[in-house]
Amino acid sequence: MQNRLFFGLAFLSLLGFIAFISYCKKSKSNHIPLKVLFGSSQKSRPQISPDGSKLAYLAPINGIRNIFVKTLGKDDDRAITNQQQRDITNYFWNFNNNEIFYLQDKAGNENWHIYSVDLNTKRVTSITPFEGIRVGVISYKKQFPDEMLISMNKRDPKVFDVYKLDLKTKDLKMVVQNSGNITDWTVDEYNKVRAAKAAKEDGSCDGLVRDDENSPWRKIGNWGLEDDAGNYFFGFSKDGKFIYASDSRNANTSRLIALDAKTGEIQKVIYEDPNFDFGSILRNKDTGKIQLVTIHRAKKEWIIFDKELEKDIKLMRKLDEGELGLCDRDKHDKKWIISFIKDNGPVSYWLFDRETKKSEFLFCNKPELKKYKLAKMEPISFVSRDGFTIHGYLTKPVGSVKNLPLILNVHGGPWARDFWGYNPEVQFLANRGHAVLQVNFRGSTGYGKNFVNIANKQWGAKMHDDLVDAVDWAVKKGIADPKKVAIYGGSYGGYAALVGATFTPDLFCCAIDIVGPSNLVTLLNSIPPYWKVRKRMMELRIGSPETEKEFLESVSPLFKADKIKIPVMVVQGANDPRVKKHEAEQIVTAMEKNGVDYKYLLFEDEGHGLLKECNRMKFYEAAEKFLAKNMG
């Protein structure tokens, strides 16, 4: 009897050992290499030439993303740029089809310049070769292929004037001078600057319009601070009588409206949702009519106004699974480059011909991901301690259910939000065994102006309470192990990570701060010159360093650094123009003085985030070791 029991137990032990080995092999086979997750995409961001004959896309050369071009229907792919220091991320075609423009800064300083590259000679020309200035593209229309309107703070670093760029001669001419408080410019269908937004001392914004380039500006409305987050001018109607705008006045959510350009009266509410702000609009390039509107609920949705387009979109949706997106279209609106975003796989890109109804698969951005089983991202919601519905996303490791180590991954902004879809950072954390909780805490955009406004002067207070409530929700649901919760984020999320380590040090076992401020006084006193026009808005939403210094210090992690008793990783770009290096150095010095277990990574060739592949790899290798050591 004892022998049978012994051999039975031995047999069960052997089965357990075999199962364990099998599990280890399976786990190892699904261990996604950092290079696959954070290396540059094999191909990404396709753009079609205006005449519909060529395709451009980004692909790495020695880890740095460059522009490649091919003829549609041929295998003649070729690189037309050879950047070796900084990725190209933002580019677009010249309407002559033989030239491409791209914007690039230096080492993360966010002083964007415009460059052009000739497809035939590969010659790169710097169109705005001025040191210490920042450029933005205001308008480039197919009806005016030889001119582009750009904004530039060349005359005064604090404000942006409008310049006309002659694309034949590359000459620049100022066409509108900033009066000192203009934050945004809007052109009509004839490429003339006819509308603007002007910031006021009380934090509100005036809408300005003029009849033509020689007419005086006149005020057509005022948007208070409470409506500021959801207020945009999208452009004029074809006849110039109306301005399409996003407007939350007399409503909670931002609505798409037609605004009378003479009187400023709302002539029509084109689209609204009672719970969510609408996102963007797509207009016919010839008629100017609205074709569709996007809105982000738990996922992005398209509200279609064009019946012919609706038929085509039904055909597009049959091509693949996931969230449909429009990447680009030719000047005739016949050929569309579309994408399908999934939460558990790479982005796929397709060419769809609206005339022939034929489609062609172009590429996936990261085909290597198909070898691995990725985690699903689940939309979630809970009620905060003071009664507000908070939305977010939960991603759990493949095959895992409950009592998991949890990463509270906090988004930046804070006037932004997390979205559903493939996120390499989330997949990395889930693949290494963590549940990942992303929270659209109060102050996040997309959920109406009330949700933004209840976050005014709540940094480190009720905004942090929402994050704490999210952790409590995950623990009560049995998802998270309360002894293994980390807080992790970038920009505002980095600040939140430091708040977690100082304000609620018993809740978290470690924290990772990426380019987050540690002292709100020094943050607000060191903003870039071109942010000063909106400084009053920031002070009303965060606090004034002149009149509320004590209050700002009370919600700054630096002044509670003696409370830190968990390991902290701090990551900083040396050239960050928004959150200066001093923000990281202050908290690191305090932690060193207090004997805190910390790790500091400073990247000399980065700004507000990590763009270069080699730097991303270095950080995530360090983060993986840091989390493994401190979360088990």
Q: Which residue has the tokens 């800064």?
A: 105
Give which of 439, 429, 442 is closest to 484, Cα–Cα.
429
DSSP 354-414: TTT--EEEEEES-GGGGGSPPPPEEEEEEE-TTS-EEEEEEE--TT--SSEEEEEEE-SSS
Cα dihedral across residues 252, 257, 263, 265: positive or negative: negative
Helix pair angle (424-431, 613-631), 10° resolution: 30
d(CA 595, CA 592): 5
Instruction: Print burial letters for 370-402: b (CB count within 10 Å at least 16), e (below 16).
Output: eebebbebeebebebeeebebbbbbbbbeeeee
Q: In what order do the strands lie in the sheet with 64-71?
A: 44-48, 54-61, 64-71, 78-79
Closest CA to 196 of 171, 179, 214, 172: 179
Residue 333's region, left for phi above 0, alpha for psi from -120 to 50, else beta, is left
Using CB atoms within 10 A of its CB, is residue 353 exposed (0-12), middle (13-18) or buried (19+)? Answer: middle
> Which positions are catalytic?
491, 576, 608
Cα angle 459, 461, 462; round to 5: 100
How far is 425 from 630, CA to CA, in rounded Å? 18
Which DSSP symbol is given to 343?
S
Secondary structure letter of residue 273 according to DSSP: -
